[in-house]
Structure 1
């Protein structure tokens, strides 16, 4: 600013001097430019030349000042960008620590200056959902889809994941079927879709899902088999539950069992469900035979649990067989519970109580405690029964808190 003021004052002084010189008229200079002739005094010409040089110098100084202003603008812009980057880093740090409300706010505030604004909003939406505000997370994802149309598939995929996490399985399945329609071979979508269908007990399109899993990409063969097994397990379990309601027959059960791929029919959990279906149709001996054959090949808790669950009818030979198993596996809690159930079915209440007490002493299994509590009530020991029910309930609640959230 001082330079500009100096130039103004200097120009005024030179102008005054020029006016004085023009009155004295010491001589003149004639300049021809094309058809025009310009006549002026020598001193005037000298002053004009000097003024022209001064104006050029002033323009240079002014240009440099403007460049300084642009530097200030860039500095201010960089300062804002650095501030937004700092907020983004703070938001990601809060996200890693599980401080969901702060993470969501910081990530949204830093979104405009982020090099990946769509990713910022996705993290923010997940933080909002984890903070218990799923509606706000949905709003954030809608903003993401409006601002970045190319992020619509990613936003819908994230929405489905958040809905599954919040146990809103019906809405999650609807979103995932739409995503599957647009990307039928995407393995990540199929993984979530299988989970949603299993939770919702959806049977209508299970066959389509099994076929789609065969052509799925970006998942391993082991994962494909696991998902197929999960679907088959869900289908068979639902079918057997309907058998208990008298909706189907033995032929229908066998047809359903035969439709399951052979490799899955050897899985213990699947065999246990099939045996449960046979027992519900009254084919108790056949169900026990299936379980005994499977146990001879592969000892599994699901098989022995189902063997003990078949109560009508129960024969002493079942007790003899289970006690022979116990000789080789004296600390098997599932076997002890099964023996307790078998003894109770035979009205051997004291023996049943001994087996169930052993199971409870080996491992505070909620099922063992509840079975023993029920037996104690039948035997008239109401006080012990109430204490065991309370202990079993506390154990079940403790196990549910230790389990992973899903």
Structure 2
């Protein structure tokens, strides 16, 4: 665009010059100098040329002044750009050193010309991590403080890095405080929630960990197996605390607050039943256990059913036998029946259930349990067979068919 304007100005000047030459006239300029009259005579063409030359001279003088006054600024900008380029090179070098594990060299490179870096936040965060890896926590915290001053958006990035480094150096209380503050600023920050769950887990703060579980699940922050681990550990910890205090009312209140999906979860039911028993409410525990097994058969629940004390053993055995329908090949149900019949002194039925359970699912512990029963019944040969098979299984993890010799002296 400026070239077009320049072209038209040249054309206009050329045309004006021709016009001035063709219509030239004499001009006299009168003025006084030191009270003496003076005059200058010249043609209009000469006056025009002098005016244009004067304007050009003024333009050149103005441009030269502007250039000279701006020279210092341009030199400063050039120096700044050079230092910025060098700072970026140092940043790259520092990150490479960090990746290679040269923490001290990384820290030094990251701080070189950091004032001219295009991303000082990145420099200070990386330098803080390099200092952290050297165990220089004072320098780490100093760099993080400077990083937090790099703008409004820096606070979250700094808090995440700080909490992570505090956690890795086992500064759990500091990491917890940093994460809680971060979640006040950004309530749904996924990594902060995930890391805070780890902090609670390490601190065995089961109550707060349990409160965090819905967010972990909703945001899909951890794997399903980790979710289950946290859930089981948190519930177990809370139940253990309350059962240790014999606080049955708080146990019941907590259970009622749990979501239906959790109340129907066999693992949660098992934890609750164990807590009730430990707190002294075995009756409620047994009823809940039977109720849950009637709804959903579960190996862990049936194992507990075979271990707890029942007020009426005969009724407990009849109840367990009902669950055999559809679960005839359940090793744990057969083992539970073996144990219940042993308590009820129905030796023959107990041995038969033990035998069948072991043939479905060998277990060194159950071989030992059956061998103990057989010794009590003076069936030494059968007991020795169980001991040998149990030892063989514990070594080779390979089961064998157990066949006990018949004894007619027991029921």
Normalising by structure 1, we get a TM-score of 0.54
Matched residue, 2:89: 86
Match of 1:186 among 182, 189, 213: 189
Matched residue, 1:195: 198
Kept after mapping to 1: 8 A contact 2:87/2:116: yes
Match of 2:104 among 101, 114, 117: 101
Matched residue, 1:233: 232
User: Judging changes above 3 Å, is the alpha-carbon distance between structure 1 residues 68 and 183 closer, same or farther for their aligned structure 2 residues?
Assistant: closer
Aligned length: 304
User: Judging changes above 3 Å, is the alpha-carbon distance between structure 1 residues 249 and 306 closer, same or farther for their aligned structure 2 residues?
Assistant: farther
Kept after mapping to 2: 8 A contact 1:265/1:271: yes
**CA shift digits 1:14-72 (9 cap, x unpaired):** xxxxxxxxxxxxxxxxx99863699xxxxxxxxxxxxxxxxx99999999999998877
In structure 2, how many angstroms separate the alpha carbons of the residues matched to 1:326 and 1:288? 28
Q: CA RMSD in A?
A: 5.3
In structure 1, how many angstroms separate the alpha carbons of the residues matched to 2:288 and 2:368? 15
Q: CA deviation at 1:352?
A: 6.9
In structure 2, how many angstroms separate the alpha carbons of the residues matched to 1:175 and 1:132? 19
User: Judging changes above 3 Å, is the alpha-carbon distance between structure 1 residues 172 and 69 closer, same or farther for their aligned structure 2 residues?
Assistant: closer
**CA shift digits 1:377-406 (9 cap, x unpaired):** xxxxxxxxxxxxxxxxxxxxxxxxxxxxxx
Q: CA deviation at 1:165?
A: 2.1
**CA shift digits 1:73-104 (9 cap, x unpaired):** 66654443332212211222233334333333
Q: CA deviation at 1:227?
A: 8.6
Q: Which runs of 5+ in 1 are unaligned?
A: 1-30, 39-55, 331-335, 364-406
**CA shift digits 1:136-172 (9 cap, x unpaired):** 3222212222454542233223222222222322222
**CA shift digits 1:240-288 (9 cap, x unpaired):** 322563x125554344333222223454543443344245346499399
**CA shift digits 1:312-356 (9 cap, x unpaired):** 9998824976765554445xxxxx365378569969899579647
User: Judging changes above 3 Å, is the alpha-carbon distance between structure 1 residues 62 and 239 closer, same or farther for their aligned structure 2 residues?
Assistant: closer
Q: CA deviation at 1:361?
A: 4.8
User: Judging changes above 3 Å, is the alpha-carbon distance between structure 1 residues 112 and 236 closer, same or farther for their aligned structure 2 residues?
Assistant: same
1:35 aligns with 2:33: yes
In structure 2, how many angstroms separate the alpha carbons of the residues matched to 1:353 and 1:291? 39
Matched residue, 2:404: none
In structure 1, how many angstroms separate the alpha carbons of the residues matched to 2:183 and 2:386? 55
Matched residue, 2:286: 286
User: Judging changes above 3 Å, is the alpha-carbon distance between structure 1 residues 33 and 71 closer, same or farther for their aligned structure 2 residues?
Assistant: farther
Q: CA deviation at 1:198?
A: 3.0
Matched residue, 2:170: 167
Residues 3-402 of structure 1 correspond to what in structure 2 (within 5 A)?
35=33, 76-109=79-112, 111-148=114-151, 150-202=153-205, 209=212, 219-220=219-220, 232-243=231-242, 245=244, 247-250=245-248, 252-267=250-265, 269-281=267-279, 283=282, 286=286, 293=293, 297=297, 303=300, 317-318=338-339, 324=356, 326-330=358-362, 336=363, 339=366, 355=390, 358-359=393-394, 361-362=396-397
Kept after mapping to 2: 8 A contact 1:308/1:341: no
User: Judging changes above 3 Å, is the alpha-carbon distance between structure 1 residues 194 and 260 closer, same or farther for their aligned structure 2 residues?
Assistant: same
Normalising by structure 2, we get a TM-score of 0.53
In structure 1, how many angstroms separate the alpha carbons of the residues matched to 2:166 and 2:306? 36
In structure 1, how many angstroms separate the alpha carbons of the residues matched to 2:226 and 2:101? 30
Partner-residue secondary structure (3-state), 1:184: coil
User: Judging changes above 3 Å, is the alpha-carbon distance between structure 1 residues 261 and 35 closer, same or farther for their aligned structure 2 residues?
Assistant: same
